[in-house]
Structure 1
Amino acid sequence: MSPNAPHVTYPLFRAGLTDAGFEVIDGAESLGHYLFNDIAALIAYVQLVPWDVPDDFTVERYADELLGLHERGPASGEPFRATRKRFWLKAIKPTLG
């Protein structure tokens, strides 16, 4: 679950498809991590995937938070670790017959 989109979860979307009359035939959730050796790499990443950050994200607006992440991670010799949670679903609409 993303803090920016708590309504976007595997169970909720699966139930929504079922409630809409679809048959869910496959799907899965995945939990993993990204490791960034420096905050510049994190910034480059989020510029490629803006849906992974708050809508109001800019480097300037989040400069203090980014500096804090840098000091707790790469500046201390540890990479910055970010959680990655994804899911996918495959569903079909049964034919009427």
Structure 2
Amino acid sequence: MSALHRLAETIEARKGADPESSWTAKLFHKGPEKCAEKFGEEAVEAIIEAVKGDRARLASEAADVLYHMLVMCAARDVGLADIEAELERREGTSGIAEKAARTP
């Protein structure tokens, strides 16, 4: 099992945890909107590091982005399996064709 899968399982397990015992539980307790806000903050930090060109800092911020993305999605009951299924559905389709097939 990959680190990403273990992380997703841990996040799911924290859904009902005491907010005083877990940062993830605290995020869930604050609601999906706060989870989305934290994801956005981390995404901006990753963008800044990508522009700066520091590989180690970018890797660190990208890890934060993945964590907060999984929390945000879990707050709306979208799990890593759902995301993987969507990626598999898109596999082998060009990005241009995939975008053209989306409904406005």
* TM-score, scaled relative to structure 1: 0.22
Q: Which protein has greater RCO, CA pairs closer than 8 Å, 6+ apart?
A: 1
Specify the structure having the higher radius of gyration (Cα): 1
Structure (1 or 2) with the greater strand fraction: 1
Structure (1 or 2) with the greater helix fraction: 2
* TM-score, scaled relative to structure 2: 0.21
